[in-house]
Structure 1
């Protein structure tokens, strides 16, 4: 039996300690907003918060979360930063297919919680492990700046303005 709090609700789970958090959320608790992408922690679609820190749930066993708090996309609206990020995502029309957006939002909330007014470089670094096949990176960056209240500061580290076709989050950090 593993005791964990998920989205503010205490849970007693009868699962193997090696079961990835992703499958506990999806298969045992029917919380399907957290998505399976690569299964190796490289794409970010499965991002959730463990005690407030963004983690890849597809490679993190539930035993790591014993006695801790897991927050998934289903309850991020209960967080004031989460509310701002979700509103900014809508205002900037970030999503296209939407598959990666839960993980993108979870990473953005984690960033803004620790760094309330991030630079473009900080955004790029924090979001580099979240892949978007639709290429909405410029809108993601703009939405993060909007949620931080710094949308007028969206520039490259060299001071040039961000262009609509700008390539962001160039590297996947393992």
Structure 2
């Protein structure tokens, strides 16, 4: 069995009880993905699996055999940041930075959902082909990612710069 993590094939753990989060952090030393609550309530552990956001603390690593997992380390590199990473720097979308990797991965997955027309609780048109990422939409869709520092205004501004109405 192999899981593609940041485009690298990695053997699934022998122990089927190992979470995807623990595989990433403890065995592969990809420490960008954070263990916050370890209960799926804070979003700090969010990664992308085949482009969709997943709470890695709630996922068993063996479930992802043959799938593509992308962590924050797989999005950009020093000197070549992903556009959303650069926007977080520009808009002060972080303070302590603990939640930032999960926020960024979640935002990328969320933007893909909006492009596919997946509605949220605040979407005005439930049958639209795509959803405009207004500030209200972004706040609703990112509500599963908590920031104890309260950097929400910078987070929303960063996401809107890259994926919002002005970026369309």
TM-score tier by shorter-chain length is 0.7 to 0.9
CA distance in 2, matches of 1:114, 1:67: 22
Name the structure 2 match of 1:147.
Answer: 162
- Write out aligned runs for 1:1-174 (5 A): 2-77=1-76, 83-115=82-114, 117-148=132-163, 150=165
RMSD of aligned residue pairs (Cα, Å)? 1.9
Deviation of the 1:87 alpha carbon:
1.4
After TM superposition, the structure 1 stretch with the greater mean CA deviation from structure 2, 105-114 or 137-146, is: 105-114
Deviation of the 1:151 alpha carbon:
5.4
Asked if the contact 1:3/1:12 (under 8 Å) is kept, the reply is yes
Asked if the contact 1:107/1:126 (under 8 Å) is kept, the reply is no
Alignment length, in residue pairs?
148
Change (3 A) 1:48 1:95: same
CA distance in 1, matches of 2:152, 2:141: 13
Unaligned runs of 5+ in 2: 116-131
Name the structure 2 match of 1:160.
Answer: none
TM-score after normalising by structure 1? 0.79
Deviation of the 1:30 alpha carbon:
0.7
Deviation of the 1:124 alpha carbon:
1.7
Asked if the contact 2:12/2:61 (under 8 Å) is kept, the reply is no
CA distance in 2, matches of 1:20, 1:48: 13
TM-score after normalising by structure 2? 0.81
